[in-house]
Amino acid sequence: MHNQSQSFRDSTISTARELEIELEELPDWYCCGAVYPLRSEDLISLLSPTRNLMGAKKEGKELVTLCSACYQVLKRTNYLILNDADKREKLNNYLEEKYDGSTKVLHFLEVIRKDVGWEELKSKVKTSLTGLKAAPYYGCLLLRPQKELVFDHPENPTIFENFLQSLGCDIVDFPYKTECCGAYLGITEEKVINSAVLKIIQGANKRGIEVLITSCPLCLYNLEAGQKELMKSGHISKPVPVLYFTQLLALALGLGVDVCHFEEHQINPLPVLERLK
């Protein structure tokens, strides 16, 4: 994140400060592995997320993630450790010390909902984003499988909508918000991305959506890269900028554009955002 998603990082850190949420980088964190291991015997891949969870436990803190993928991996790992005694046992054999699954895994959105609250957030907004036709793009990893993540309703999630509402945006009902972007296949199987992104962007255009909001670096990348491709091939004319929810939050809280690093984006959001100031 320090390298490629400064936008995500800085916007988060600054907004958190603004909202008086104490964030602290996990000392010597490990990469969670990005995908939750789906083979039942694959325990090794569970180790690094477990180490992170244990790290948080040592700190006696809740583990907050920004990225949907990390969220999915950490929360599911925790779920497994909590509910599968046998696997817990096996895992603990690999670990320096026992971990029991007691760490609470939260997404930054949940933290805002829990510690700030939508009403409170509204009151903190300096530049309301009224008139900005925004739609959330949840993607997959935040919502499914609901049984393990219990993040929001898998078919009709609302947490992003509530968030955007408090920022003053005009919410557009966007059925594609829960459709997949093609995930890591973006690298090897372009057509997966293109077909997925095409659906999503066309849907967005039809509804006059000006900006899509996400919390997943990969979603963001795919949506942007995909759009560029599709514009080349002329499948879409009107690109839709994609932003991290924290960037929009930063703007609303009046923290200025520099924390947002809009230059990172392949589809420049500024034209859309100009209006706001």
Residues near another protein (CB under 8 A):
3-5, 31, 33-35, 37-41, 45, 67, 69, 139-140, 143-146, 153-156, 173, 175, 178-180, 182-189, 191-192, 195-196, 203, 206, 217-218, 221, 225, 264, 266
Output 18 or 264, the one with its CB closest to another protein: 264
Task: Give the residue from 151, 270, 271 showing the smallest Cα distance to 216.
Answer: 151
Output 129 or 141, the one with its CB closest to another protein: 141
Tell the smallest beta-carbon distance from residue 15 to another protein (Å). Answer: 20
Strand order in the sheet with 211-214: 170-171, 133-136, 211-214, 242-244
Work out whether strand 133-136 and strand 242-244 pair parallel, antiparallel, or are unpaired: unpaired
Q: Which two tokens stand for residue 199?
A: 């659906």
Output 35 or 256, the one with its CB closest to another protein: 35
Output 139 or 239, the one with its CB closest to another protein: 139
Tell the smallest beta-carbon distance from residue 125 to another protein (Å). Answer: 28
Output 55 or 217, the one with its CB closest to another protein: 217
253 phi, psi to nearest 5 deg = -80, 0
* Angle separating helix axes 159-167 and 245-252, nearest 10 degrees: 20
Tell the smallest beta-carbon distance from residue 80 to another protein (Å). Answer: 11
Question: E-assigned strands of 66-217?
Answer: 105-107, 133-136, 170-171, 211-214
Tell the smallest beta-carbon distance from residue 144 to another protein (Å). Answer: 4
Number of helices (H), then strands (E), belonging to the chain: the values are 13, 6
Tell the smallest beta-carbon distance from residue 218 to another protein (Å). Answer: 5
